[in-house]
Structure 1
Amino acid sequence: PHGYDVIDYRINSEWGGEDGYRRLIARARAKGLGIIQDIVPNHMAIHEGNYRLMDVLKKGRASRYYRFFDFYEEEDKIRIPILEDKLENLIAQGLIRLEKDVDGEYYIKYRDWRFPLNTVGKDLVETLNMQHYILAHWRDPPSYRRFLAVNELIAINEEYEEVFEEAHREILKYDVDGYRVDHVDGLFNPIDYVRKLKRVSGGRIVLVEKILAFGEKLFEGPDGTTGYDFLNYSNLLFTSNEEKMTSIYESFIQRRFDLDQELRSCKEKVLRDLFPYEVERYSRLLGIKAEDLRDYLICLNIYRTYGDVKVECDRSGAIARAYKSNPHTYHKLEQFLPAVYVKAYEDMLLFRYNRLISLNEVGSDLHYYSLSYDDFHEFNAKRVGTLSLNATSTHDTKFSEDVRMKISAISEYPDEWREKVYEWHDILNPKVDRNDEYRFYQVLIGSYFREGFSEEYRRRIEQHMIKSLREASIYTSWLNPNIEYERRMLDLVEEAFTNRSFINSFSKFEAKIRRVGMEKSLSLVALKIMSPGVPDIYQGTETWRYLLTDPDNRRPVKFEELADLLKRSRSFDKEMISNMDDGRIKIYITHRLLRLRRDLNINSLAYKPMRTPDGVCGFWRGDRVLVLVKTRGIGRVVVRVEGRFIDYLTGEYVVNDVEIDSLPRILIREK
């Protein structure tokens, strides 16, 4: 379970309950660890265990919890679109029926759902018609605000004082250091919410899950974000040969890719297929034309506004006039804005534009292929002392850091990559679109590791590729699956996993890419830990972890194996470099740099960029710690440094000149 389908605000008994959580907090405190509690103030799950919602479904507007949820007030009944077929068909099949609980109370049973009844009629149909709610087909619109386009997640009105208190009473009882606020952009007024949470928690740390566009500033109040800005700024340091990689991609797919037009097309499709009801409703409530609202939503290239109107997107002026005359409804519209951008950009465009898919991440801007060191330093320098996370992998990233770095390594070998994709095309003779085929080769290169072409790995690739196709929504989609086209993709996967000519060719190229990808990953670890901010190490990524889009990135972590690996990796030896596959080198660097960060209180030290040759990113923390990492290029690079240093990772002494090859250099100037 992912835990974001909240039914109550108590600690789940399956995870140890309240007593278990208090013991965890106490043990963490004893070891000098703090705890940031993840909280979900935007939505809850439609589930029989959600007693507040069940009370509303039973009593309607008379329920004390009616204002808790963000229902559409103009609707007479609560429409819950979860049915897989027409109501009458499901009744005929016996999938929707009346049942009694142990207390003799009747309820509606459908699959794993149980719905309460306010009264019982003479038969099932009459009983259903007498309720305060309607069970509708999943394609129908709900009569409540939902999380993105997920009908089973109903939004709440945390802006009401009584709802805020109800939703946070239990959370505030625990002696934690702060909170991670999930989907802060879904809230009515994120600025007020953070201010209130700070006040009632006694000033505890508040980190918000906020996706910032490049150059966008975080609103006032939070102590930082969950780190997608760092992820994307650092990610752009590791790519090379933009012109060649663009040319190879467009030549292979046999067309030019207009990124802006494609994003516009994605937004149009999302508004047409997923949110036509919301567009009609908000335009009606705001008193504007639906066309004006659609144009505004399509034009916006940020996740949401905060009590303002982007005039450059309001060509007719209708949005500004509506905001002035009806600010409350405009703020409700702002809660809807993230759904449009997430579904169009994150869940569609990122699976359509496949030039180099290591760049296709949450919070990215695909107009950027790479980033200058000056721009990275400017970004870092503004974050000195911040508590913002430095994320590189999360439960929402499209690929884990090791997959991304390995795919980025392809850009170091553009000519060989061109030869390989055409060679593989001839060997496999795919029956899918070349754009989907091009993505498949990158996915395979990025995620392939020690398990080889195993059955488990094949299932993972199959699931990922089908998800990719449906998210892209060109030949198939979640709304209208095209099983025949999906079968062609599965045939391609099967052929790749069994064709000896392909496997031999692929394996030779992958072995070369793997080493370069690992070196890039180690550089990224050093940047994450030594840059301003708080390093966020996603579960299991202390060592190599080649994960795809969720649910693959939530695979169980083998903690006992990690602990054993750490025991064998506490001191440096050269075999860590010659045999990187065993994972010791990554966990060693992670452990070693976290210790340095703690011992020198790195986050409090000044940040000063260092001029470096192309391919090497360098900066000082304070006046003694010099960080040098290779981000682009192949082979050794020599950098001039003035003075005498010791390499904190290898123990090597360095005087004036330092050679950078497989490992990042963390140099401590001798006093």
Structure 2
Amino acid sequence: KGVEDTAFYRYLRFTALNEVGGDPGHFGVDPDELHRWCIRQQANWPDAMTTLSTHDTKRSEDVRARLAVLSEVPAEWSAQVTSWRAASATYRSPLLDANTEYLLWQTLVGAWPIDAGRLTAYLEKATREAKRRTTWTEPDEAYDEAVRTFAEAVLADAEITASVSAFVERLAPAFRANVLSQKLLGLTVPGVPDVYQGCDLVDLSLVDPDNRRPVDYRARVERLAALDDGEAPRDLDDEKLLVVSRTLRLRSEQPRWFGSSSTYQRIDTTTSHAFALGRSDRAVTVVSRLTTGLRDGFSDETVSLPGGTWNDLFTGEAYADDTPLARLLDRLPVALLVRAE
């Protein structure tokens, strides 16, 4: 309780890391470390749950996916926050501390677009859980009002919100890659995947009760029906639903490829901007990573597929041997390949 529900609301250097079971001091892992983790999981805990979002996560998987892009563009992010702080100076009460304001800017970017009701409710919970200036049992009404008024003023400022929107749009390609890559990994690494309610589409929820809002299942049924009828994905929501539905169907049809008796293979790529793994020599996952560093795309980089022909469940294309990543990941930043019979 003291860590997740107090310290995680105080130490706000990079809130994507402030997650249940996480470590704010640990900035990710490299591909070799992830392969080692997968091998250990398959050997020791093949039936453990793998998930990216739950009822208790501090931010949804996709909020974290967008915030993660900030770690790839630190100079641009620093300049952007400096600009927003200057633009909002007249709204800032002397009671508003810089730590809470920095939380607001991270939250705006991570959950954008967000309305004043959701933002102010989140900030109230975050500041009271932090227990530095206000608490649930002894609220400081003047401080609470200063935080709420600042957040509302920022969202009412057309120039600031236009700037936030434009910045988020610049992050969109890398955000897309993160959303789809982490989802496909979560569904295919050793373990039993869990998809939290609503997270079959892009979900930009914050901590509860924000992440317990009603889910529009009718919209999901309609989107899935269109994909099943052969329509191309229209947006990132469709792309995520395509990844989730096709991967879970494969697991349902071929449980032995992914279960406790399955095997795990490391698949090599020629670049640190892609990661690949194999399951039971029957399925291969390929995802992109750190894509802001791909100035010229994947160029001549390849992934070394095991012998034979492999079909991508998402696009229907066939591949073999040392496959160019530029071709494999041309339509989507991820691929799920199944060995052709």
TM-score by length of 1: 0.46
Q: Determine helix, strand or coil for the equivalent of 2:242.
A: helix
Q: Residue 383 of structure 1: CA displacement?
A: 2.4
What's the counterpart of residue 265 of structure 1?
none
How far the C-alpha of 1:555 sits from its partner, in A, is 0.6
Query: Residue 403 of structure 1: CA displacement?
Result: 0.9
Partner amino acid, structure 1, of 2:77: W
Aligned residue number for residue 112 of structure 2: 448
Matched, 1:639 2:305: no
In structure 2, the partner of 1:520 is 178
| Structure 2 match to 1:289 | none
Residue 33 (structure 2) pairs with residue 375 (structure 1): yes
Equivalent position amino acid for 1:607 in 2: Y
Percent of matched pairs sharing the same residue: 29
Residues 381 and 607 in structure 1, CA contact (< 8 A), matched pair in contact too: yes
One-letter identity of the residue aligned with 1:614: S
Task: Give the distance between the partners of 1:572 and 1:357, measured in 2 at CA.
Answer: 39
Q: How many residues align?
A: 319
* 319, 323, 327: which one aligns with 1:657: 323
Which of 87, 92, 114 aligns to 1:427? It is: 87
Q: Partner letter of residue 591 of structure 1?
A: S
CA distance in 2, matches of 1:571, 1:472: 49
Identify the residue that residue 336 of structure 1 maps to in structure 2. Answer: none
Amino acid at match of 1:609: R
Alpha-carbon distance change, 648 to 571 in structure 1, aligned in 2, over 3 angstroms: farther
Aligned partner of residue 493 in structure 1, secondary structure: helix
Counterpart for residue 534 of structure 1: 192
How far residue 507 of structure 1 moved from its aligned partner, in angstroms, is 1.2
Computing the radius of gyration over CA atoms, which structure comes out larger, 1 or 2?
1
Instruction: Find the aligned partners of 1:658 and 1:438 in 2 and give their Cα distance.
Output: 41
TM-score normalised according to structure 2 size: 0.88
Q: Within 2, Cα distance between the matches of 1:423 and 1:572?
A: 45
Tell me how far apart the structure 2 counterparts of residues 572 and 465 of structure 1 sit (CA, whole Å): 43
2:63 aligned partner: 403
CA separation of 1:531 and 1:572: change in aligned 2, threshold 3 A = farther
Task: Find out whether 1:603 has 2:258 as its counterpart.
Answer: yes
Deviation track 1:296-319 (CA, whole Å, cap 9, x = no partner) reads xxxxxxxxxxxxxxxxxxxxxxxx
The answer to whether structure 1 residue 412 and structure 2 residue 94 are counterparts is: no
- 1-structure distance, mates of 2:227, 2:147: 41
TM-superposition CA deviations, 1:606-658 (whole Å, max 9, x none):
00222332122211111232211112222433323245422121111224223
Structure-2 residue corresponding to 1:556: 214
Q: What displacement does 1:386 show?
A: 2.3
User: Is it true that 1:492 corresponds to 2:150 in the alignment?
Assistant: yes
1:585 and 2:245 aligned:
no
Which amino acid letter does the alignment assign opposite residue 434 of structure 1?
A: A
Check if 1:463 corresponds to 2:118: no
SS of the equivalent of 1:383 reads helix
2:267 and 2:304 in contact (8 A); partners too: no
Deviation, structure 1 residue 548? 0.6
| Residues 356, 511 of structure 1: alpha-carbon distance in 2 compared, 3 angstrom cutoff | same
| Pair 1:511 & 2:149 matched | no
Q: What does 1:169-208 align with in structure 2 at a 5 Å threshold? A: none
> Which residue of the partner structure matches residue 436 of structure 1?
100
The alignment partner of 1:354 has SS state of coil
Moved over 6 A (4+): none
Mapping for residues 469-488 of structure 1, pairs under 5 Å: 469-488=127-146
For residues 1-20 of structure 1, the aligned pairs below 5 Å read: none
Secondary structure at 2:54's aligned position in 1? Answer: coil
1:405 to partner: Cα distance = 0.5
SS at structure 2 position matched to 1:345: coil
**Structure 1 portions without partners, runs of 5+:** 1-341
Deviation readout 1:232-283 (Å, 9 max, x if unpaired) = xxxxxxxxxxxxxxxxxxxxxxxxxxxxxxxxxxxxxxxxxxxxxxxxxxxx
1:573 Cα offset (Å): 5.2
Distance 1:616 1:515 in 2: 15
What is the letter of the counterpart of residue 351 of structure 1?
Y
**CA separation of 1:514/1:650 partners in 2, compared to 1, >3 Å: closer, same or farther?**
same
